[in-house]
Amino acid sequence: MGVASFTHHHGPWTVADVLALPEDRSVRYELLGESLVMSPAPGLRHQRASYRLHVALDAAAQAAEAPVEVLEAVNVTLPSGLVVPDIVVADAGATAEDASASTPTRCGRSRSRPPSPGSTRRSP
């Protein structure tokens, strides 16, 4: 299948379709149901806050000797699609291997931000 493009896509979106899109650091692609959601990349203030939260969560996890890993902006596959939460606290066993491009849902809880006002939704 060559390089995927959202402009030439027909029918409902799948996780495989989203993962086949070319990487673009200016846009975050997520799949909600069968709709592709494109959001602008987070700004500096957002990134600073996310980084500080990551550092605090990681320090707390290490202090508690919790068997978790704190990750930033990784693909998380859910039954309803694919999201890219700002931060994921995952079971260390679930992330021991680099599972190609996404973290399985069994990794624990993730908090995804709602689509921003500037996001674009592409439906089937």
Write down the pTM of the prediction: 0.67
Question: Which DSSP category does 103 fall into?
Answer: B
CATH architecture of 6-122: Alpha-Beta Complex (3.90)
Is 70 exceeded by the pLDDT of residue 75? yes
Question: Which amino acid does the sequence have at 119?
Answer: S
User: Predicted confidence band at 110 (pLDDT cuts at 50, 70, 90)?
Assistant: very low
Mean pLDDT of 26-36: 90
Residue ranges per structural domain of the chain: 6-122
Helix (H, G, I), strand (E, B) or coil at 77: strand
Q: Which residue has the tokens 């494109």?
A: 38
pLDDT at position 102, please?
52
Burial string for 43-68 (b: 16+ CB within 10 Å, else e) reads: eeeeeeebeeebeebbeebeeeeeeb
103 in Cβ contact with 84 (< 8 Å) = no
